[in-house]
Amino acid sequence: MTALPTSTNAAAIDELAASLGSKVSTDRGVRAARGHDRSHLPWEPPSAVVHCTSTADVSTALAICSRHGVPAVPIGAGTGLEGGANSTADAVCLDLSGMDGILRIGARDLDATVQCGVMKSSLNAALADHGLTFPVGPGVDASVGGMASTGASGTTAVRYGTMKENVLGLTVVLADGTVIKTGGRSRKSAAGYDLTHLFVGAEGTLGILTEVTLRVYGIPEATAVAICSFPTLENCTAVVQATLEAGVPISRVELLDDVTVDSVNRYTGLGLPVMPTLIFEFEGSPSSIAEHSSTVRALVDRHDGVGWDYADEPGRIGRIWRARHDALPSYAALVPGSSTWPTDVCVPISRLAECITLTKEDTDAHGVLAPIVGHVGDGNFHLAFVLPPGDENAVAAAAALNGRLVDRALSMGGTSTGEHGIGLGKTASLAKEHASALPVMAAIKKALDPRGILNPGKVLAG
């Protein structure tokens, strides 16, 4: 260890070092690297970083932090977008990225148990040997524990659901270091409180997830993608609604507004018409894909869609989805030196077109560059405010637009975030959304974390 930072936490850090040895670091560079996620939100280097490799490490660290009243902030891959893993100077960061063991693959039961730091890509590489896959999660590679902590989802949620539907059981370390197990491997249970789903989506504020048992799925026999363009966003959402009402089992359907199509074209060379665009994905047997894609194509034609571009070759399908997942860096490339502020909301599908249209009118009226993409099969869409370097007026305008976006979604029966989580950035939005339930959430937090050391300031403000 290097010299301790200036901190009131010296006694706690000394005890951590005595118990966990070289796993504890106070190096300035390490503290800075592990002090934040990918969001635009404020952070400070923590007073120390504990590189955990086991549940026992997390338990030891939390027991010590609890005794000293020192905040503990967990971080895995650090891919979050709402500041959920951002530290403060008085905190100890629990780095979970080294907990990367795949503990068990239950091929016959279609489940797997992994440590929280396992990356989705690593899990899928291991599952592939068994003809299995875990399709849930964002386009960016993320850790399983981080995805479970935020209740993440992504492009495949329309078919496979979110992490909330795919976590069967957990190992959780509570604020005082106590280790509990929730759920199990059975596909259903009527035994007691559903603690598993209390911790999924709690963003490390109620306990720290160290092991996760997941549902996994067979790799589809075949896959195909179709891209089509439309004159308006309303046409896009009308096609998606008609597809869902027809019961077509699509595995993904993504909406790209014209600005996104233009930026992705420039960044990846995809070459799509610069119009509102849908990307459909179909999975199953070749005959079922042919049937379902034919049904969707007829609906596309009925809603003035053009340019049905069909692909069933794996390499081309991969290139299309890589281009879609490159949307965020493509936005930043539009303005040299810019940063991006991604945000998301989710509304009932019947209100999606209206919400997107009003949002686009709002951003255009205020001269803010904010391209839109959406997982439109479940009513979830994303904005990314593109912020020129040093432009505080743009930041202020984005904050106001983000507030109106949330208010608009809530007025339509939606939610302030479909998958990014609350973190630091949307605590005020959560208070608006769940005002009557907020005291119950606070009571649960107080019961499980009486000293308020677990990821303080996240989800619940204050």
pLDDT class of 3 with cuts at 50, 70, 90: very low
Q: Is the pLDDT of residue 64 over 70?
A: yes
Instruction: Report, as an integer, the average pLDDT of 57-73.
Output: 97
User: Mean pLDDT over all residues of the chain?
Assistant: 95
Q: Is the pLDDT of residue 268 over 70?
A: yes
In 48-100, alpha helices (H): 55-68
In 177-285, alpha helices (H): 196-199, 233-245, 258-268
Q: Is the pLDDT of residue 5 over 60?
A: no
Structure tokens at 272: 């799509």
Of the candidates 72, 111, 227, 153, which has an alpha carbon nearest to the alpha carbon of residue 380?
A: 153
Q: Where are the beta strands (DSSP E) in 249-368?
A: 252-256, 277-284, 306-311, 339-346
Q: Is the pLDDT of residue 233 over 80?
A: yes
Per-residue pLDDT tens for 270-286?
999 999 999 999 999 99
CATH 3.30.465.10 fits 102-218, yes or no: yes
pLDDT of residue 9: 87
Q: What are the distances in angstroms from CA 54 to CA 148, 170, 411?
A: 18, 14, 44
Cα distance between residue 270 and residue 155, in whole Å: 19
pLDDT of residue 6: 43
Architecture category of domain 10-95 in CATH: 2-Layer Sandwich (3.30)
Per-residue pLDDT tens for 325-350?
999 999 999 999 999 999 999 999 88
Identical fold for domains 222-326 and 329-426, yes or no, is yes
Determine if the pTM surpasses 0.75.
yes
Burial annotation 419-454 (CB, 10 A radius, 16+ → b, else e): bbbbbbbbbebbbebeeeeeeebeeebeebbebbbb
Cα distance between residue 110 and residue 360, in whole Å: 42
pLDDT of residue 8: 58
What's phi and psi for 385, nearest 5 deg? -70, 125
Domain 222-326's class? alpha beta
Give yes or no for a contact between 378 and 440, defined as CB atoms under 8 angstroms apart. Answer: no
Edge-to-edge strand list for the sheet holding 380-387: 306-311, 222-229, 277-284, 252-256, 372-375, 380-387, 339-346
pLDDT of residue 462: 66
pLDDT of residue 1: 35
Domain boundaries, the chain: 10-95, 102-218, 222-326, 329-426
pLDDT of residue 139: 86
In 269-313, alpha helices (H): 286-302
Per-residue pLDDT tens for 432-452?
999 999 999 999 999 999 999
Hey, which CATH number is domain 329-426, 3.30.70.2740, 1.10.10.350, 1.10.287.130, 3.10.270.10?
Answer: 3.30.70.2740
